[in-house]
Structure 1
Amino acid sequence: MAITLKPLRDQVIVVTGATSGNGLATVEAAVHRGAAVVATARNETALEALRARLSADGGRIAVCAADVSDMAAVERVTAVAVAAFGGFDSWVNNAATGTYGTLDQVPIADHRRVFDVNYFGMLHGSLVAARHLRGRGGAIVNIGSILSDRAIVEQGPYGATKHAVQALTDTLRMELEREGAGISVTLIKPGAIDTPFPEHARNFMDQPPRLPPPLYAPSVVADAVLFACETPRRTLYAGGGGLLASLLSRAAPRVSGRIMELVGTFAQQKPGDPGDPARRDNLYDPRVDALRGTQNVHARTSSSALQVQKLHPAVVMLGVVGAGIVVALGRPKDARR
């Protein structure tokens, strides 16, 4: 079955992690562009407020409170979509959580919790979405990270899950292609995005966490997600800063690793700016959600790199090859042996 995706105005889109950050931006943008949305998150109060606000403006939206780490809860989302709109056309796996601190500082139970949400939550969503979309066609859009390509200090569990998400997405795509399911599978890799993540993550560092610049607004990720709902793509990087970091990591992994060792911790801490206390630590229970973080940062509202990637899927691969050639030619002869 060939992959044929509907225009957004004719789609029903499921979005997990829908009450905060990238998920909230995606829901708002999708409804604004005429799509119907099934929004799901743990925060039932925030979901109901979101439904009331968007419905009041004529938006088509249904909500379902669910923790994606629970397979039965994720399966309920499909039931809500079928009851409200007759099904769905795209499923966006966005829900995620995280920690700040060294591998030794983060308790094993918290490592597991990050995997339960970020990896198993995405697995649950992917399996449920694929079952529904087989024979109908549609899109599965997974939110990874530039940390799917490289690691960074102080975010070991989160980075490990995003590496796993890369493998999960690739495997899912191959299996669905092999059976001719007609389902597009895309991995979005955001760079640093101005969301409440630094406040929501459980923090074991001795300073409040922050995201390293350059930062982008959540609308940049929403732009990438909605493009993938209409246009088959393997991978899209949301933000030029993240794309450059990934290219450097692939072309010169040792250099990239040394940079992370030297500046990683400093780049993620900002003394005296703890953010909103009501948002801190949503690892196990929902906290106050919002579109963007409360820390005083500058975030770009557009990404030229993303717009270029939309033109042709080979753009990123050409960049990787080009960066590799530049680094290889710049190495001393002895270093190439």
Structure 2
Amino acid sequence: MIRLKPLDQQVLVVTGATSGNGLATVEQALRRGASVLAVARNEDALAELAARLGVGGGRIATYAADVADPAAVEAVAAAAIATFGGFDSWVNNAGVGTYGTLEQVPLDDHRRVFDVNYFGVLHGSLVAARHLRGRGGAIVNVGSILGDRSIVQQGPYCATKHAVQALTDTLRMELEREGAGISVTLIKPGAIDTPFPEHARNFMDQPPRLPPPLYTPEVVADAVLFACAHPRRTLYAGGGGLLSSLLAQAAPRLTDKIMELTGKTLQQKPGDPGIAARRDNLYEARDDDLRGSLDVHARGSSVALQGQKLPRPMLALALGAGAAIVAGLAVRARR
């Protein structure tokens, strides 16, 4: 049986900790009483993070590492053990992306996206599992709704998120079979107002953006921290993403057509390139922040996420009802 500690008794390792969802997770975890080892490539941002969040007595340590390097990820675990005596939850959040067609993105860039988004999660999961095996704890992988449904202009990113879902499911089964006592959760955010569009390497002829509706990074942090203390298979962060995933499953060809007609336009923001110092962090760290600098509206809460926190029998009923509604809408759309 899996038993997880209350969050205020935990030590968390969080990768991708200086920007967007990772930064929100670190901030919220410290506010809720947890201790955190924050991991990222950006050494300057890590130093600022430790100085800002450590002032109020928050138990935070930092470690600079690129999760694409397996030796660096091993060193992260060693740092957590040396600083805090170990860890209770490991959050694989670091990620990079590109905008452009599959042909436009060079092969080396395809590989780099996989090195970070897939192999970084693999490295972190295996290291975490070795440490937590027999002791118990949680591995939380931040995937995406794009692991359920690909979108044009983000092919390599979508492919990695499909791969992360397969990796997470396989890891869960292997650990359950051996009775390791480790919870394995996949978080699937929808569109989140982070610096991702500015950080991504862009091959389009216009500046990129994320398609609405958007949510704030705190919504993802809420899902991640819930999973650290409550065993769950999957949590969708944002109702918009959950609905689009259900629609894609109910009517895949219809969703194809919608993506083909609107997908590129919805991911471009002419005349608003964002902050230049943030652009293109595919190989090197760039300026980080909690939110993106584009002029967008983002929702600060998600009713759908709160519903997924319900006890499982109630959740099953709610999801069944939601799936039935979406299926009905898909049938109408075909007529």
TM-score with structure 1 length normalisation?
0.96
What is the alpha-carbon distance in structure 1 between the residues aligned to residue 331 and residue 211 of structure 2?
A: 30
Within 5 Å, give how 1:26-175 maps onto structure 2.
Answer: 26-175=25-174
The CA RMSD over aligned residues, in Å, is 1.4
Q: Offset at 1:323? A: 4.6
Within 5 Å, give how 1:294-313 maps onto structure 2.
Answer: 294-313=293-312
SS in 2 for 1:142: strand
Q: Structure 1 stretches (4+) deviating beyond 3 angstroms?
A: 312-317, 327-332
Structure 2 gap ranges (5+): none
In structure 2, give the amino acid aligned to 1:13.
L
> Size of the alignment, in residue pairs?
332
Q: Offset at 1:153? A: 0.3
Kept in 1: contact 2:40–2:64 (CA 8 A): yes
Kept in 1: contact 2:247–2:327 (CA 8 A): no
SS in 1 for 2:265: helix
* In the alignment, structure 1 residue 322 sits paired with structure 2 residue 324: yes
Kept in 1: contact 2:117–2:161 (CA 8 A): yes
| Cα offsets for 1:34-65 (capped at 9, x unmatched) | 00000000001111110111111110011110
1:320 to 1:170, Cα distance in 2 relative to 1, 3 A: farther
SS in 2 for 1:311: coil
Q: Which residue in 2 is equivalent to 1:245?
A: 244
Within 5 Å, give how 1:233-312 maps onto structure 2.
Answer: 233-312=232-311
SS in 2 for 1:140: strand
In structure 1, give the amino acid aligned to 2:320.
L
What is the alpha-carbon distance in structure 2 between the residues aligned to residue 32 and residue 319 of structure 1?
A: 35
* In the alignment, structure 1 residue 231 sits paired with structure 2 residue 230: yes
| Cα offsets for 1:6-48 (capped at 9, x unmatched) | 0010000000000000000000000010000000000011111
Kept in 1: contact 2:198–2:275 (CA 8 A): yes
Q: Offset at 1:326? A: 2.1
In structure 1, give the amino acid aligned to 2:262.
V
In structure 2, give the amino acid aligned to 1:239.
G
Kept in 2: contact 1:250–1:320 (CA 8 A): no
What is the alpha-carbon distance in structure 2 between the residues aligned to residue 148 and residue 312 of structure 1?
A: 25
Within 5 Å, give how 1:194-209 maps onto structure 2.
Answer: 194-209=193-208
What is the alpha-carbon distance in structure 1 between the residues aligned to residue 233 and residue 99 of structure 2?
A: 29
Q: Offset at 1:312? A: 3.5
